[in-house]
Chains A and B, each alone.
Chain A
Amino acid sequence: MPLNPQILSELREIVGAEQVLSAPEELLAYECDGFALHRHPPDVVVFPTTREEVSRIVRLANRHRIPFLARGSGTGLSGGALARFGGIVIALTRMKCIRELDFENRQAVVQPGVITMEVFRAASPSGYYFAPDPSSAMVSSIGGNIAENAGGPHCLKYGTTTNHILWLEAVLPSGEIVELGSRAADCPGYDLVGLFTGSEGTLGVATLAALRLSRLPQSVRTMLAAFHSLRDACDAVSGIIAAGIIPAALELMDRRAVAAVEAARGLGLPADAGAIVILELDGLETALPAQAGLTEEICRRQGCRELRVAATEEERASLWQGRKEAFGTTGRMTRDLYMHDAVVPRNRLSEVVTSLYEIADRAGVAMSLLAHAGDGNLHPILLFDRTRPGEEERILALVRDMLRVCVEAGGTLSGEHGIGSEKNEFMDMLFSDADLEAMRRVRLAFNPDELCNPGKIFPSRFCRFH
Chain B
Amino acid sequence: MVDTLSSIDGTPVERQVFPESAEALAETMKEACEAGRTMAAIGGGRHLHLGNPPGSVNLGIHLSRLRGIVEYEPGNLTVSVRAGTTLADLQNALRAANQFLPLDPAGGEAATLGGLLAANASGPLRLRYGTLRDLLIGIRMVHADGSRTRAGGKLVKNVAGYDMCKLYTGSLGTLGFCTELTLKVQPASGESATLALGFPSLPAALEATQAILRSELLPDAVEAINATAYAALAAPPAAGSWILLVRFGEARTALHRQLDRTRDLAAASGASILQVSGDGATQELWRRLADQRAGNGSASGLLLKCAALYQSAAATGRLLEQAGERLQAQASLYCHAGIHVYHACYRWTGPECAPGAIQDAIRELRRHCRAAGGHLVVERARPEVKQGLDVWGYEAPALDLMRRIKMQFDPKGLLNPGRFVGGI
Q: Which residues of A contact B (CB under 8 A)?
A: 103-106, 127, 148-149, 151, 155-156, 159-160, 162-163, 172, 176, 178-180, 182-195, 197-199, 215, 217-218, 238, 241-246, 283-287, 290, 343-348, 372, 375-377, 410-419, 423, 427, 430-432, 434-439, 441-446, 457
Contact = CB atoms under 8 A, between A and B. Distances in A.
Contact of B162 (A195, A244, A287): A195
B213 interface: yes
Given A189-B421, A445-B405, A427 B254 contact: no
B187 A244 contact: yes
Contacts of B156: 156, 343, 346, 375-376
A199 B159 CA distance: 9
A74 to B, nearest CB: 18
Contacts of A439: 151, 161-162, 164
A183 B159 contact: no
By DSSP majority rule, is chain B's interface helix, strand, loop, or mixed? mixed
A413 to B, nearest CB: 5
Given A197-B166, A372-B157, 5 more contacts: A375-B157, A412-B160, A419-B160, A431-B160, A441-B408
Interface residues of B, number: 83
Contacts of A344: 155
B388 interface: no
B75 A242 contact: yes
**Shortest 7 CB-CB distances between A and B: which pairs?**
A194-B166, A244-B187, A347-B75, A218-B216, A441-B408, A287-B254, A445-B404
Contacts of A414: 158-160
A194 B160 contact: no
A197 B159 CA distance: 10
Contacts of B420: 189
Contacts of B339: 185
Given A178-B398, A436-B161, A191 B155 contact: no
Contacts of B99: 244
B213 A215 contact: yes
Which of A149, A162, A185, A346 has the most chain B CB atoms closer than 10 A to its own CB? A185
B69 to A, nearest CB: 16
B405 A190 contact: yes
Contacts of B394: 187-189
A442 B98 contact: no
A388 B402 CA distance: 51
B247 interface: no
A446 B169 contact: no
A163 B48 CA distance: 28
A195 B163 contact: yes
A198 B159 contact: yes
Interface stretch (B225-233, B272-280, B301-309, B318-326): B301-309
Contact of A445 (B77, B154, B408): B408
B158 A438 contact: no
B219 to A, nearest CB: 11
A423 to B, nearest CB: 8
21 contacts: A103-B214, A104-B210, A104-B310, A104-B311, A178-B397, A188-B377, A192-B402, A194-B165, A197-B166, A238-B75, A241-B75, A286-B257, A290-B251, A345-B78, A372-B157, A419-B161, A435-B161, A437-B149, A441-B405, A445-B405, A446-B404
A187 B421 CA distance: 11
Contact of B398 (A189, A431, A436): A189
Contact of B153 (A187, A412, A443): A412
B140 to A, nearest CB: 10
B242 interface: no
Given A163-B130, A347-B75, A438 B164 contact: yes
B398 A376 contact: no
B76 A241 contact: yes
Interface in B121-162: 130, 133-134, 141, 143, 147-151, 153-162
Given A184-B307, A189-B392, A284 B162 contact: no
Nearest to A156: B156
A192 B401 contact: yes
Contact of B251 (A287, A438, A445): A287
A383 to B, nearest CB: 25
A182 B375 contact: yes
A246 B107 CA distance: 30
Contacts of B78: 345
- The listed residue with most A CB atoms (<10 A of its CB), out of B134, B340, B394, B408, is B408
Contacts of A285: 216
Nearest to B257: A286
Contact of A290 (B130, B157, B160, B253): B253
B372 to A, nearest CB: 8
Contacts of A411: 153, 155
A445 B167 CA distance: 13
A284 B219 CA distance: 11
A283 B98 CA distance: 21
Contacts of B133: 191, 194
Contacts of A185: 307, 336, 339-341
Contact of A418 (B77, B98, B157, B159): B159
A164 B401 CA distance: 22
A431 B75 CA distance: 25
A182 B405 contact: no
Given A286-B257, A438-B151, A457-B162, A195 B157 contact: no
A456 B415 CA distance: 31
